[in-house]
């Protein structure tokens, strides 16, 4: 029973809990920042020409690919998503300079795995897990007092917890939660991988041209294009502002004082500095708006309704074949989702707080 | 019935027809506000308005993908009160304040941002409910406010200071003396904030509680009890008012600096 | 030749201001002329250019009164801006604000697509324009990876694609390094030789004076000088706050009352008076304590594979003014970041007054070393000037009376007492905002001051005033200055020592005279010579 005393010693219990609660997301950030870095993220916007089939396809076909993959992933059981994910990743072989692309794509996918699996493993309600897996195995539980802070796991009952015995309404890490998290992630990564495939193989302006050709107003096309091409500049502005803040004396972003009043004062100062820095970034970004607008007007933006396109965007034979295949995939997906036990249990969501299912 | 991940569960706290009417009304009003002028869609939008929206969408992307992940989130506390949303609120409201035309907040800024984040981060889901959800819930109230106010975001009688809000052609360069500024700041504290809180409150109500009262059950198939919904609504309205208070002076300052 | 621009008795006044910017200005420009427009910031140069292309009053509201404006047979006030742009192409200061696409050729096509030019012709024109600006080899390049000079050339290509007859450039090189600026000047000259009419406003007069046909000097909204370059300099451009070529200044010292002054070294030498000059070489002994010593520093940005600094060694003595020069991308700014402690060297060490810089943090660092960024907006955080200064002091751990004293001292030094309660973001972009950014660093009274292009975007008069002020403070407080600059005149005039950065290393160091001499042998370092004397 030594292990019990070590693992569930209140201090150690709290430390492990806090690490799990706080450092899961931090790990994701670490992955994205350390492995991709700003440079890597910028390369998302750096289109490199290629010759293979995937580059010759109409952007709309690739958009459809992304939509179909996401839809089928959403409505069918997880391993179909996994197969589609692998299939999409196989298409990456058609990209030129695959290595550099994987350097960006893999950490994003990995981060998605860790991020989703992490949250699900802790926060998936075990009442829900019981429906899917018919059984819930707790690996480690958090202190009961967490419930006071509002952290609950949406279920009730007595559960056996290793080294601790039976616990009423436990909150903690479950084996099924982790499995479930991983399953859900396959849906997400299939979607992400197919979206990235579109970006890697199509110049952004061609994506917009194809959408404009299909009726997107040029105002929206322009705004989208300007937004995308401003992202590198906003990132650069953010870096410079943070650097200038460091040069001014390196604000320490963690309050360190032990005296509670000083701690609060320090925290407030930090918040103020963060807000000041954000305002600076916003001003630095927006102050050129007038100049940009003049430059766009001079170049006849919105001057005429008729418009021509620099590049021919046309559906070719390969596009029609691909579209046919995609429609077949979609129909198969809808059919499979109707089979017992093959439907998708849950949906990937955009923001965290709806990610409850 | 589950299709494309949407459960179509109509057992919701707010009846489905209220939401349907709300959504239709919103898009109808937008269509009216954006009726073509001189053969151009988007009514009286000027080029600079699109530029502001594009730059703010870029800021939103950087905020949500780079800065927000750095803000530590405290487990379930974030579920009740997703405080990193303050940056998003701030930027969307800034767009409304700078552009000051109906549809600038939800219709365009959120639309552009959602589309882009789908393309470059989440994968192009093409799931229509997300668009409708993000566009109608996050900032529709601000758009309606702008339609109602005829484009004047702030509710105070600025003597010509905000000429730029309705007429983006007005050039900057007018200098404001300190006394004038202070006088205005006093005015600001009195009436502007109350208004701003109101908008913010609506905004929060719709994002959070709207999500639970309708979006949650309808899309995700999970049900909330009305009491739970009520409690979280009150909590989020309070939080929303605080966010509104915090954000408002900064928006005011930036607008002042830029126009 | 035919007059392409005729302006008669023009008055322009902005809304909300009671003083007109242009007062009764009349002007005629011939087709094919190359006109240089000079004057102080605020003298009305940009306003004049924006009237010619119709941006005023069509986009920027202003009252434009008075006589006639005729640009290639059109009145820009009554013609839509995009139609005027088919005749008058315009290039503004900041290249990034004029590029809308991610890929080079897409950006050139932007204006053509909007004008519904047929795809076949459009593709031809894109290639043609890119060829003109010598960017054809980067056709498929991402725009944000171009250098400043390349970006500005791309902007010019986009403007040229609609085949205008006049090209207007509003301080096109103020955001560029010397190499970028040189590219633009050469390109503009080439375009002029091919028959394009050019009107350019520019602070780097010395570099372009030899290229232009005519100089128009504005003063308080009216034309003060309008003449051929040699005679224009004779009328003393310095009265307009404009730098004149150094040879002109020299000649003025010798021959006060000429109406024809030399503007290039060759002309100066032809006049045969060079031997009347004594060359005085100043040489400061390397004495005193070493303020900064950089030992074999290498550096790679996190997440990047490319090494930016490849073994930098340098030593700067206490009380010196050291200039760091070199083309963009040579690692100058990165080196400054390292000196300021923003990043730590990947290997090697930096000593600041015998403290290991890696261990120097927080308050100790602020009191030793201050960093003035290139763009004041990058370092202004507060809503008042006073708040800005207090913010620095708070980070430096200076409170109470001492803080008040310091604020008073620094605002007196810089003459910004009356700005204390104003918003730094609302101050004039050039002078005042820059002064506030300097003040916000100086208030901590650091022993070393790093200045990153302190006079970028300022007109000559403001630059001189700012540099003199900083040097006075430096003398009084006994500071060490490290200055990154592209302005060789500043290097020559103010620095004791200059370091040339090239490809992540210090390629050469010495007195400014030695550096200028050595740089003749290394064109790849950029064009460091000002006049060659």
Report pTM. 0.81
Q: How far is A72 from chain C (nearest CA, A)?
A: 32
Mean pLDDT for all residues in chain C: 86
Write down the pLDDT at residue B7.
Answer: 57
Write down the pLDDT at residue A155.
Answer: 60
CB atoms within 10 A of CB C427: 20
Inter-chain touch A225–C118, beta carbons under 8 Å: no
Examine the pLDDT at C113 and tell me if it is beyond 80: yes
Considering only CB atoms, A295 lies closest to which of C97, C142, C377, namely: C97
User: Angle CA(C329)–CA(C439)–CA(A288) in degrees, nearest 5?
Assistant: 55
**Which DSSP state fits C278?**
P
Write down the pLDDT at residue A154.
Answer: 57
Encode chain B (259 residues) as per-residue pLDDT tens digits: 444 445 566 666 667 777 778 778 888 888 888 888 777 778 788 899 999 999 999 999 888 877 776 666 554 455 555 666 777 778 888 888 888 787 777 778 888 888 777 666 554 444 556 666 667 666 676 777 777 766 565 544 433 333 333 333 333 333 444 445 454 454 444 444 444 444 544 444 444 444 555 655 565 555 566 776 676 666 666 666 666 667 777 888 888 888 7
- Per-residue model confidence as pLDDT tens digits over C50-62: 999 999 888 888 8
Where are the domains positioned within chain A?
A: 2-202+315-354, 228-312
Residue C226 pairs with which residues in a beta bridge?
A: C216
Residues 244 through 273 of chain A touching chain B, CB cutoff 8 Å:
none
Examine the pLDDT at C76 and tell me if it is beyond 50: yes
ipTM of model: 0.85
How far is it, in rounded angstroms, from Cα C390 to Cα A288? Answer: 28
pLDDT higher for B7 or C81? C81
Considering only CB atoms, C102 lies closest to which of A205, A269, A291, namely: A205
> B243 with B86: CB under 8 angstroms?
yes
- Per-residue model confidence as pLDDT tens digits over C333-350: 899 999 988 888 999 999
Inter-chain touch A293–B59, beta carbons under 8 Å: no
pLDDT higher for B36 or C95? C95
Q: Sign of dihedral through CA atoms C86, C88, C91, C97?
A: negative
Write down the pLDDT at residue A295.
Answer: 93
Residue of C nearest to B178 (CA): C422
Residue C198 pairs with which residues in a beta bridge?
A: C34, C167
> C130 with C108: CB under 8 angstroms?
yes
Write down the pLDDT at residue A321.
Answer: 93
Residue C147 near chain B (CB below 8 Å): no
Inter-chain touch A71–B4, beta carbons under 8 Å: yes
How far is it, in rounded angstroms, from Cα C66 to Cα C47? Answer: 15
- Per-residue model confidence as pLDDT tens digits over C265-278: 777 777 766 566 56
Write down the pLDDT at residue B82.
Answer: 62
Q: How far is A136 from chain B (nearest CA, A)?
A: 20
Inter-chain touch C85–A298, beta carbons under 8 Å: yes
Write down the pLDDT at residue C376.
Answer: 87
- Per-residue model confidence as pLDDT tens digits over C275-315: 665 655 555 566 678 889 999 999 988 767 788 899 999 99
Inter-chain touch A234–B58, beta carbons under 8 Å: yes
Instruction: Classify residue C503 as exposed, middle or buried by CB count within 10 Å of its CB (0-12, 13-18, 19+).
Output: middle
Q: What percent of chain C has pLDDT over 90?
A: 37
Confidence grade of residue C448 (pLDDT, cut at 50, 70, 90): very high
The DSSP result for C127-193, as a single string, is: HHHHHHTT-GGGTTSBGGGS-HHHHHHHHHHHHHTT--SEEEEESTTTTS-HHHHHHHHHHHHHHHH
Write down the pLDDT at residue A312.
Answer: 82
Q: Which residues of B touch A118 (CB under 8 A)?
A: none
For residue C101, what are its two tokens? Answer: 């696409």
Write down the pLDDT at residue C147.
Answer: 86
pLDDT averages per 10-residue partition of chain A, 357 residues = 76 78 61 61 68 87 88 81 91 85 79 68 66 75 66 65 76 79 79 83 84 85 88 87 82 68 77 82 91 92 85 87 93 82 49 33
Confidence grade of residue C146 (pLDDT, cut at 50, 70, 90): confident
For residue A117, what are its two tokens? Answer: 């699996």
Where are the domains positioned within chain B?
A: 16-71+85-258
Write down the pLDDT at residue C324.
Answer: 92
**Nearest in space to C29 (alpha carbons), one of C69, C65, C77:** C69
Q: What would the mean pLDDT of C215-220 be, rounded to a whole number? A: 91
Kindly state the helix (H) or strand (E) to which residue B212 belongs, with its residue range: none
């Amino acid at each position: 029973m030594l292990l019990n005393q070590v693992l569930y010693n209140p201090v150690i219990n709290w430390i492990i809990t806090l690490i799990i609660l706080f450092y899961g997301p931090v790990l994701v950030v670490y992955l994205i920042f350390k492995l991709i870095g700003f440079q890597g993220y910028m390369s998302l916007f750096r289109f490199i020409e290629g010759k293979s089939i995937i580059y010759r396809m109409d952007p709309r076909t690739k958009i459809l690919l992304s939509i179909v993959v996401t839809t089928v992933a959403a409505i069918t059981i997880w391993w179909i998503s996994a197969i589609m994910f692998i299939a999409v990743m196989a298409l990456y072989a058609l990209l030129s300079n695959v290595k550099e692309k994987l350097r960006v794509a893999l950490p994003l996918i990995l981060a998605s795995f860790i991020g989703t699996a992490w949250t699900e493993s802790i926060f998936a309600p075990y009442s829900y897990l019981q429906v899917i897996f018919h059984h819930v195995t707790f690996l480690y539980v958090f202190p009961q007092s967490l419930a006071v802070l509002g952290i609950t796991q949406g279920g009730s009952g007595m559960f056996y917890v290793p080294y601790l015995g039976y616990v009423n309404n436990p909150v903690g890490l479950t084996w099924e939660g982790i499995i479930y998290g991983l399953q859900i992630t396959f849906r997400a990564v299939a979607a992400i991988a197919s979206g990235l495939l579109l970006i890697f193989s199509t110049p952004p302006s061609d994506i917009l041209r194809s959408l404009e050709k299909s009726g997107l107003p040029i105002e929206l096309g322009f705004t989208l294009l300007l937004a995308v091409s401003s992202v590198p500049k906003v990132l650069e502005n953010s870096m410079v502002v943070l650097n200038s803040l460091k040069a001014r004396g390196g604000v320490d972003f963690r309050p360190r004082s032990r005296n509670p009043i000083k701690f609060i004062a320090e925290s407030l100062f930090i918040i103020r500095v963060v807000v000041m820095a954000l305002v600076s970034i916003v001003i630095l970004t927006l102050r050129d708006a007038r100049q940009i607008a003049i430059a766009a007007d001079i170049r006849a933006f919105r001057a005429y309704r008729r418009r021509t396109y620099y590049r021919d965007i046309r559906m070719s034979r390969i596009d029609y074949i691909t579209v046919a295949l995609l429609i077949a995939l979609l129909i198969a997906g809808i059919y499979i989702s109707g089979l017992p036990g093959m439907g998708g249990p849950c949906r990937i969501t955009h923001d965290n707080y709806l990610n409850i299912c | 019935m589950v299709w494309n991940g949407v459960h179509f569960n109509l057992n919701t706290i707010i009846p489905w027809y209220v939401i349907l009417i709300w959504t239709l009304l919103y898009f109808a009003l937008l269509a009216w506000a954006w009726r073509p002028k001189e053969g151009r869609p988007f009514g009286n939008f000027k080029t600079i308005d699109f530029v502001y929206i594009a730059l703010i969408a870029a800021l939103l992307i950087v905020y949500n993908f780079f800065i927000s992940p750095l803000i530590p989130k405290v487990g379930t506390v974030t579920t009740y009160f997703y405080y990193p949303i303050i940056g998003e609120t701030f930027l969307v409201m800034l767009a409304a304040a700078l552009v000051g035309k109906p549809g600038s907040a939800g219709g365009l800024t959120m639309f552009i941002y959602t589309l882009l984040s789908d393309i470059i981060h989440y994968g192009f889901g093409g799931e229509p409910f997300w668009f409708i959800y993000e566009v109608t819930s996050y900032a529709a109230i601000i758009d309606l406010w702008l339609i109602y106010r005829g484009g004047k975001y702030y509710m105070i009688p600025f003597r010509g200071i905000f000429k730029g809000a309705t007429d983006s052609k007005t050039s900057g360069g007018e200098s404001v003396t300190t006394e004038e500024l202070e006088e205005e700041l006093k005015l600001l504290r009195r009436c502007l904030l109350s208004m701003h809180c109101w908008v913010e409150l609506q905004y929060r109500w719709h994002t959070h509680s709207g999500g639970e009262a309708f979006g949650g059950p309808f899309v995700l198939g999970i049900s909330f009890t009305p009491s739970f919904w009520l409690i979280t609504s009150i909590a989020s309205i309070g939080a929303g008012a605080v966010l509104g208070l915090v954000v408002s002076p900064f928006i005011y300052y930036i607008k002042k600096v830029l126009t | 030749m035919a007059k392409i621009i005729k302006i008669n008795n023009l008055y322009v006044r902005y809304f909300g201001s009671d003083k007109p910017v242009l007062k009764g200005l009349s002007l005629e420009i011939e087709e094919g002329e190359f006109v240089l427009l000079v004057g102080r910031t605020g003298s009305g140069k940009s306003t004049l250019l924006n009237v010619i292309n119709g941006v005023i009053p069509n986009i920027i509201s202003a009252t434009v009164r008075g006589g006639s404006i005729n640009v290639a047979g059109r009145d820009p006030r009554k013609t839509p801006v995009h139609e005027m742009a088919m005749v008058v192409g315009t290039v503004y200061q900041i290249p990034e604000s004029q590029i809308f696409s991610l890929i080079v050729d897409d950006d050139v096509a932007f204006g053509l697509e909007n004008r519904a030019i047929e795809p076949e012709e459009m593709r031809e024109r894109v290639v043609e324009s890119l060829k003109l600006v010598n960017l054809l080899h980067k056709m498929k390049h991402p725009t944000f990876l171009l250098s400043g000079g390349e970006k500005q050339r791309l902007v010019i290509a986009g403007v040229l694609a609609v085949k205008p007859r006049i090209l207007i450039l509003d301080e096109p090189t103020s955001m560029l390094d010397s190499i970028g600026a040189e590219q633009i000047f050469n390109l503009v000259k080439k375009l002029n030789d091919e028959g394009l009419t050019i009107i350019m406003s520019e602070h780097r007069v010395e570099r372009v004076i030899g290229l232009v046909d005519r100089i128009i000097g504005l003063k308080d909204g009216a034309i003060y000088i309008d003449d051929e370059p040699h005679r224009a300099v004779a009328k003393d451009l310095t009265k307009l706050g404009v730098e004149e070529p150094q040879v002109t200044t020299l000649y003025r010292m010798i021959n006060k009352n000429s109406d024809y002054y030399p503007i290039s070294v060759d002309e100066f030498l032809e006049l045969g008076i060079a031997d009347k000059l004594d060359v005085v070489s100043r040489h400061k002994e390397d004495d005193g304590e070493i303020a900064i010593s950089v030992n074999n520093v290498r550096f790679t940005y996190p997440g990047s594979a490319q090494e930016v600094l490849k073994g930098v060694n340098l030593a700067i003595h206490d009380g010196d003014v050291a200039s760091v020069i070199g083309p963009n991308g040579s690692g100058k700014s990165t080196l400054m970041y390292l000196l300021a402690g923003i990043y730590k060297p990947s290997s090697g060490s930096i000593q600041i007054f015998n403290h290991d810089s890696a261990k120097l943090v927080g308050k100790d660092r602020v009191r030793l070393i201050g960093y003035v960024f290139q763009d004041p907006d990058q370092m202004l955080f507060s809503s008042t000037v006073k708040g800005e200064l207090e913010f620095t002091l708070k980070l430096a751990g200076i409170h109470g009376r001492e803080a008040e004293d310091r604020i008073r001292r620094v605002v007196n030094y810089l003459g910004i007492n009356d700005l204390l309660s104003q918003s730094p973001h609302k101050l004039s972009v050039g002078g005042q905002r820059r002064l506030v950014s300097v003040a916000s660093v100086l208030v901590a009274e650091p022993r070393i001051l790093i200045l990153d292009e302190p006079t970028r975007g300022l007109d000559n008069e403001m630059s001189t005033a700012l540099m003199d002020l900083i040097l006075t403070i430096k003398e009084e407080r006994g500071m060490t200055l490290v200055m990154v600059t592209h302005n060789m005149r500043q290097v020559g005039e103010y620095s004791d020592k200059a370091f040339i950065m090239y490809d992540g290393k210090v390629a050469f160091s010495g007195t400014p005279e030695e550096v200028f001499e050595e740089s003749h042998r290394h064109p790849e370092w950029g064009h460091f010579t000002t006049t060659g004397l």
